Amino acid sequence: MRILRDYVLKEMMGPLLASLAVFSFILLIGNMFKLADLLVNKGVDIKDVVKLFLYLIPYILSYTIPMAILTATMISFGRLASDNEVTAMRASGISLYKIGMPVVVVVFIISLASIYLNDRVLPASHFASYKLIKEVGMKNPTAYLEPGVFIKSFKGYIVRIGSIEDEELQDILIYQLQEKGPTRTIIAERGNFKTFPGKNLIQLHLINGTADEPNPNDPNMFYKLNFKTYDMTLDIETALGKGKLQKKPKQMTIRELKDDIAGLKATGADSQHIKNEIRERVTEIHKKLAMAFSSFAFVLVGLPLAINTRRREKSVGFGLSLVVSTIYYLIFIGGQALTLRNVIPPIIGVWVANLIYFIIGVVLIFIIIEK
């Protein structure tokens, strides 16, 4: 049995490493364009870009490890079945349980290790990335701004930048919110930021535009003022929350989430907002655990499916694994959405995909055994 165990695991190792590399590369490519934009177009320091890249890796692995395990299972057992090696093993009195058990045990251990990845490593990388983005925004405000998006971070202002070219802002629209009276509108063709080292302020230098100015006789009325240059001072500390960084649920460990839940309950508040906050944190706890055991759910489905399919082509195994994993994540995301909307409890909504795949896997195994 030791020889059989080593042989089956060896057959899995090559496809597992190859699949992990391919899936990780695909997911990294999508983020590489964003990182390249920060480096080339927004002037972010290369050290900060490298750090952001490294912080992405745990997030990528949380998805690619289960997908790689599924793909490796489909490819390796599909080849064993197509070459009639599985048939020969069963003819020698070796049951399907004994053939697949080494893989199931190893994947279960990987799932346990994934709990640490999802609970400790991933939240830490999320929070480190969050802090670094804030620090980059303090040093280079243009890197913080997203073209075409209304930015509400600056206190009292809503800012939209049409585009950013070589750190010059184009097509600027600013709404200045007034405590009393109508909203003031400022429009400029272009502009740029000026930072003040050691201070938490930035100056927005606007060029060629119009601004609403209050009428001295009636503060509720404005008149249009054309300008060639116009300077505004913005509080970037407020915008970036410097010194007030608080972890979001996905940036917390399970212990921190439980402590946060206890703190929310201790407030005694019975408002819908508090209930939603608690539900979000409970959902995040279950999400960390359910994602860790997605590898185990995948191998239970993939193993009998590969044996029953009996195809040795890697493209077939790869394609089937994509279909199986896509369906899983659609169910997972849908269940999570229903949980956050308070339609179903977190323990059902988050775990429903794992439960469905576990049942399907067990049924498929029994069907193959009966053949």
- What pLDDT is recorded for position 311? 63
String of DSSP letters for 118-168: IIIIHHHHHHHHHHHHHHHHHH-HHHH--TTSEE--STTEEEEEEEEETTE
- What pLDDT is recorded for position 8? 80
- What pLDDT is recorded for position 196? 66
What separation in angstroms does the CA of 53 have from each of 47, 133, 242, 248, 367?
A: 10, 12, 22, 20, 45
Centre a 10 Å sphere on the Cβ of residue 274 and count the other Cβ atoms it contains. Answer: 14
C-alpha to C-alpha distance for 233 and 206, rounded to whole angstroms: 11
- What pLDDT is recorded for position 258? 92
- What pLDDT is recorded for position 245? 63
- What pLDDT is recorded for position 91? 74
Q: How many residues make up the chain in this entry?
A: 371
Buried b (16+ CB within 10 A) or exposed e, 30-66: eeeeebeebbeebebeeebbeebeebbebbbbbbbbb
Q: Nearest-CA neighbor of 233 among 200, 188, 207?
A: 200
Q: Nearest-CA neighbor of 353 among 285, 306, 293?
A: 293
C-alpha to C-alpha distance for 131 and 22, rounded to whole angstroms: 29
C-alpha to C-alpha distance for 98 and 158, rounded to whole angstroms: 64
Prediction pTM value: 0.76
Q: What is the mean pLDDT of each run of 10 residues along the chain (371 residues)?
A: 78 90 88 76 77 91 94 87 76 76 91 94 91 72 71 78 80 81 83 71 85 72 83 68 68 92 77 84 95 94 83 72 92 94 92 95 79 58
